[in-house]
Structure 1
Amino acid sequence: MNFSHVRLGFFGLALAGATPAVADMQAKLVSADIAQGEKLFKRCVACHTIEKDGRNKVGPNLYGVVGKAVAQVEGYSYSPALKTYGGEWTLERLDAYLHQPRAEVKGTKMAFPGLKKEDERANLIAYLNTFSDKPVQFGAAEEKVEPASQAASADPATDTAQPIEGDFGRLKVAPGVEATYYACSSCHSEMIVAQQGLTRENWVDMLDWMVKEQEMDEIAEPERTEILDYLSTHYNKDRPNFQKPN
């Protein structure tokens, strides 16, 4: 990616004249944790790619989305609601959409419920911003926007274990639950997973079958191994976390 150019002020990033809410988000973006944004993006990979020239999946490719015109990714069939929404993905609009997608764009096809915490939205937007030919500069003009890989390795503290937060329905809250929940619940209830009891080999066969017979998008590494580790540990043949429906 070319990070030598930045888009300045295309959505009014200067604090002068910004509403208090937007100014607060701008301040958070300056110190946003890109490594945490990368972790949050795991919730999106079931439906979106982010690399340049990545294919459309259930949702459109998100390369360069920060500041991009709404509903303009070639080859993707957008909802009439998002086409009507129009305009550009400004900071304010991205923040509102990621907060409550269905409230911001009534009729959107996106099933993701949104991120309630402002810090999480800032981290995710900052991460998305690194995937662009001309990433937006949120801070002082002389500062450089780093690729996500560099930002993640710059601070070893970001690699320490973090509390697992979120609503994962009936799934066991343990390492790997996020990747599993968002990969599965984009198409069906997590209860289908919670009712299973399979060996690791059977889970491998199940994922392969879903790709071949149900046209599920293949899960890339390292998420695939993370999901298999989680499923074989918590939903093995002894069904240690089986829960009956209410």
Structure 2
Amino acid sequence: MNLARVRLGLVAFSLFASAPAFADAQASLANADIGKGEKIFKRCVACHTIEKAGKNKLGPNLYGIVGKPVAQAEGYAYSPAMKAYGGEWTVERLDAYLLQPRTAVKGTKMAFAGLKKEEDRLNLIAYLNTFSEVPVGFGAAMEETASAEQTASAESAKNDVQEIEGDFGRLKVAPGVDTIFYACTACHSEMIIAQQGLTREGWDEMLDWMIDEQGMDDIPEPDRNDILDYLSTHYNEDRPNFPNPN
């Protein structure tokens, strides 16, 4: 038996077998909700920036990540496991990594547990794709409406409590809960937030202390103001919403 032909046949079979999955991913991403992906990305901002030329934090900057070679953020110290992973961040690889990071890349530095819902992963990938000089083509409609959807999503999250989706544990579901949850629970449980009970000034000083003494990244506006508004309203000294009013 000609081993070269056998190997060639196996390669061809694997490519043919993977084609439907790739087509399914393309179709799903063409219909993904970029606005929801933006909300999901709030879980990532404690460790990642996404803007062009954004700084590396605990994790690397993610600008242009869809389709980008693995472990290529300038100035970031990747784990040996991630360097060995190699290749490119295709949709399929991003999907597998976001599902179970420590299973997809054993030895990764990322502590995030993963996103179990396929819809959440695809929405996030679609949102990440909008931050690129050359977005991967998942559908013309997605590229044309990306900016409008992001703006509408931000306004909706501020003005309509019914649009706040997600499990925020013990925290009061109200405008600002998603911002504080995703910014703080990368390092803390929501119980630590809920049990404090401080004035707005006290919370402001707490954030300064965490930045100056604990090495936390500065929280940009308007997120910091949104966090202080939320905490001073729902977790002031009288802690009206402790432990869980929902």
**TM-score where L is the length of structure 1:** 0.82
Q: Measure how far apart 1:209 and its partner are.
A: 1.6
Amino acid at match of 2:136: V
What does residue 36 of structure 2 align with? 36
Task: Specify the alignment match of 1:57 in structure 2.
Answer: 57
Aligned-pair CA distance for 1:68:
0.5
Q: Is the 8 A contact 1:64 1:129 kept in 2?
A: yes
Instruction: Report deviation, 1:144.
Output: 7.1
| Contact 2:37–2:127 (CA under 8 A) maintained in structure 1 | yes
Structure 1's 155 and 215: CA in aligned 2 closer, same or farther, altered over 3 A?
closer
Per the alignment, residue 27 of structure 1 pairs with 27
Q: Residue type matched to 1:238 in 2?
A: D
1:95–1:233 distance in 2 versus 1, CA, 3 Å: same
Contact 2:36 2:153 in 1 (8 A): no
Q: Which amino acid aligns with 2:187?
A: C
More RCO (CA 8 Å, sep 6+): 1
Is residue 182 from structure 1 mapped to residue 174 from structure 2 by the alignment?
no
Q: Structure 1 unaligned runs (5+)?
A: 1-15
Cα distance in 2 for partners of 1:102, 1:232 equals 37
**1:56 match: secondary structure:** coil
- 8 Å CA contact retained: 1:49, 1:62: yes
Unaligned runs of 5+ in 2: 1-15
1:227 is aligned with what amino acid? I
Corresponding residue for residue 148 of structure 2: 150
- How many pairs does the alignment contain? 227
1:1-246 aligned within 5 A: 18-139=18-139, 145-146=143-144, 148-153=146-151, 161-166=162-167, 168-243=168-243
Distance in 1 (alpha carbons) for counterparts of 2:193 and 2:152: 37
Deviation at 1:27, TM superposition (A): 1.2
Q: CA RMSD in A?
A: 2.7
**Shift in Å, 1:156:** 11
Could you say what secondary structure the match of 1:145 adopts?
helix
CA offset digits 1:147-194 (Å, max 9, x no partner): 74233357999776424222x343333332222122112223333212
**TM-score scaled to structure 2, two decimals?**
0.82
Name the structure where helix makes up a greater proportion of residues: 2
Is contact 1:210–1:216 with CA below 8 Å preserved after alignment?
yes
Deviations 1:20-64 (A, max 9, x none): 444332211111111221121111111111111110011100000
Instruction: Tell me, in whole angstroms, the C-alpha distance in 2 between the residues paired with 1:156 and 1:47.
Output: 21
Distance 1:63 1:21, change over 3 A: same
- Between structure 1 and structure 2, the one with the greater Rg is 2
Q: Which stretch of the first structure deviates more once superposed, 197-206 or 109-118? A: 109-118
User: Is the Cα contact below 8 Å between 1:152 and 1:158 reproduced in 2?
Assistant: no
